[in-house]
Amino acid sequence: MHRTARACTGVRDNGRVTFSATSPRPRPTAQVRPRLIATDLDGTLLRDDKSVSDRTVAALAAAEEAGIEVFFVTGRQARWMNVVADHVHGHGLAICANGAAVVDLHAGGELLEVRPLEREAALHVVRALRREAPGTSFAVELTTGFHHEPEYTPFFIDTGATVAPVEKLLHEDEPGTGAPILKMLAHHAELTPDGFLALARTAAGDRAAITRSSATALLEVSGLGVSKASTLALCCAERGISADEVVAFGDMPNDIEMLTWAGRSYAMGNAHPDVIAAASGRTVANNEDGVAVIIEDILAGL
């Protein structure tokens, strides 16, 4: 694991905390007082216009006043965290890139820890998808910036991006000299989102963590074992917080492991069906301040 400054290492006593996202922990039989709220952003905390409502801002602040820590846990990169920059109070830490990075929002998105995707694993995924899903285009998110293939259409035009075949984007002159890979993106113009995800996991899921958070057939590829859940588990272990003391919110497949792991979890009213099945509870949609509704209810019961 690459570290800078301080990090959520998860090292306790003489061993490292381990976590398996594929082995769900049993639900607690009784709810305990929460110590941490972990919330996704897009489709969850944020409204569809990417705003954070006054009600939600107030609920987050009230949670922290009650001694409950707040973590933003998102597929976004650190440079795209400006949507919550004006609403960061005590909750300055965020888990970005689906668990590949822990960042300090109070320090302008400084990377505190990186859990990278190894280049050989990325190339394995590329080869598998070129074979099994012809027409797939790729992009790579490095700690130093975003780069993509000519066929890949980015959400935002980045004048600093290198546009080249992904094999060239992943090339290192000497092993270990390239910037760490936070995640790789794979897009297909014709396959269905869930169909593309299932295909990719079958073809290359033994070498990398593959998920999605987009309404389109856009996959997000991380290092094997890297997820929102596994990084959140490490950060909680460092703080002495158990899974039963965590309340989590999400709406898309990249949230499923986190919602399964947390003691209490809520799928948004607008959530993917698989997310609804994974969560222990459900709230109203993001445009109806579903996160705030639950936080207010929790605080009222303390």
Write down the domain spans for the chain: 2-6+33-115+227-301, 119-223
Predicted local distance difference test score (pLDDT) of residue 124: 98
Predicted local distance difference test score (pLDDT) of residue 15: 33
Give me the helix-helix angle, 290-301 and 54-65, nearest 10°. Answer: 30
The residues, any chain, with a CB within 8 Å of residue 66's CB and separated by 6 or more, are 299, 302
Architecture of domain 2-6+33-115+227-301: 3-Layer(aba) Sandwich (3.40)
Tell whether the model's pLDDT for residue 243 goes beyond 80.
Answer: yes
Instruction: Give the residue from 203, 201, 157, 181 showing the smallest Cα distance to 98.
Output: 181
Quick: pLDDT tens for 67-91.
999 999 999 987 777 666 665 555 6
Predicted local distance difference test score (pLDDT) of residue 87: 59
DSSP 61: H
Predicted local distance difference test score (pLDDT) of residue 90: 57
Tell whether the model's pLDDT for residue 19 goes beyond 70.
Answer: no
pTM for the model stands at 0.88
Predicted local distance difference test score (pLDDT) of residue 173: 85
- What is the rounded average pLDDT for all residues in the chain? 88
Which range, of 72-76, 104-108, 229-233, averages the lowest pLDDT? 104-108
* Separation of alpha carbons 166 and 10, rounded Å: 33
Which range, of 43-57, 81-95, 230-244, averages the lowest pLDDT? 81-95
- Rounded to an integer, the average pLDDT of 251-279 is 98
Tell whether the model's pLDDT for residue 282 goes beyond 70.
Answer: yes
Provide CATH code, domain 119-223: 3.30.1240.10
Predicted local distance difference test score (pLDDT) of residue 58: 94
Query: Residue 205: pLDDT band by 50, 70, 90 thresholds?
Result: very high
Q: What percent of the chain has pLDDT over 70?
A: 86
Q: Phi, psi at residue 41, to the nearest 5°? A: -105, -75
List, in sequence order, every beta strand (DSSP E) within 143-244: 145-148, 181-187, 208-211, 218-223
Tell whether the model's pLDDT for residue 298 goes beyond 70.
Answer: yes
137 near 152, Cβ under 8 Å?
yes
Quick: pLDDT tens for 108-152.
778 899 999 999 999 999 999 999 999 999 999 999 999 999 999
Strands 181-187 and 218-223: antiparallel
The residues, any chain, with a CB within 8 Å of residue 157's CB and separated by 6 or more, are none
* Separation of alpha carbons 87 and 264, rounded Å: 24
Instruction: Give the residue from 176, 180, 179, 175 showing the smallest Cα distance to 114.
Output: 180
Quick: pLDDT tens for 143-192.
999 999 999 998 777 778 999 999 999 999 888 889 999 999 999 999 99
The residues, any chain, with a CB within 8 Å of residue 274's CB and separated by 6 or more, are 253, 256
